[in-house]
Amino acid sequence: MSIDLISGIIGFILTLLVFSYLIGDNPLFRSAIYIFIGVSAGYAAVVVWHDVLMPKLFQPLVSADQNQLVFLVIPLLLSVSLLAKLSPRISWLGSFAMALLVGVGAATALSGAVIGTMTPQSRAAMDVFIRPTFGHLIEAVVMLAGTVLTLIYFQFSAKRAPDGTVRRNIIVEVLAWGGRVFIAITFGVLFAGVYMAALTAMIERLSSVINFVKPFLGL
């Protein structure tokens, strides 16, 4: 049997296992999910070993001089301390490395959101006013309104009313409602994009199954 035929049979079986979810959750579907998770975890481990650990840790440890060795021992010790999380008794040893990972990850995500999303969005909302045509002016007004109203929606300062309830200013509430409209439109567009991607993947899988079965049926 050729490699193409073997891979085609495996793909056909896995496709049927996934489509079995149409009749409800069942062991066949769960088996396909377990295989997918296992393959993904194995692939991630291989990528981490070949692209991170070997070139950036172990190989420099072997070839580094004495002055640079101390800077490589520190990440090695932090990496080893994470293995302590496997045992509840000594899991505290990996707390510092875990806190460091969470802190760096949060800082990276926050800076990425500010630099990669908020700043370009704000610049685009302002730069579009430079274009003099009427159509571009309408586009600029909508983009600026969406940006401002969405930011107002996430403004949570409020004052305590005489009756004891905590409420935001009525103007802020009205503007926040407009922000909810823009957020709902954005979520709708994102959902449509996800749905179209899933539909495209399903069509591709169905086409693959049909093309695989055709030679066996003499079509």
Q: Residues 188-202: pLDDT tens digits? A: 999 999 999 988 988
What is the domain extent for residue 57? 1-63
pLDDT at 219: 63
Domain check: are 58 and 139 in the same one? no
CB atoms within 10 A of CB 126: 13
Cβ-based burial of 53 (10 A; exposed 0-12, middle 13-18, buried ≥19): middle
- 115 belongs to a structural domain: no
The verdict on 139 and 59 lying in the same domain is no
Q: Is residue 1 part of a domain?
A: yes
Structure tokens at 6: 């073997």
Q: Is residue 145 part of a domain?
A: yes
Q: Indicate whether 127 pLDDT > 80.
A: no
Last residue of a domain, one of 13, 34, 63: 63
- The domain boundary, picked from 9, 34, 63, lies at 63
Residue 117 falls inside a structural domain: no
Instruction: Give the range among 17-26, 65-74, 170-179 with minimum mean pLDDT.
Output: 65-74
As for how many domains the chain has, the answer is 2
Q: Is residue 156 part of a domain?
A: yes
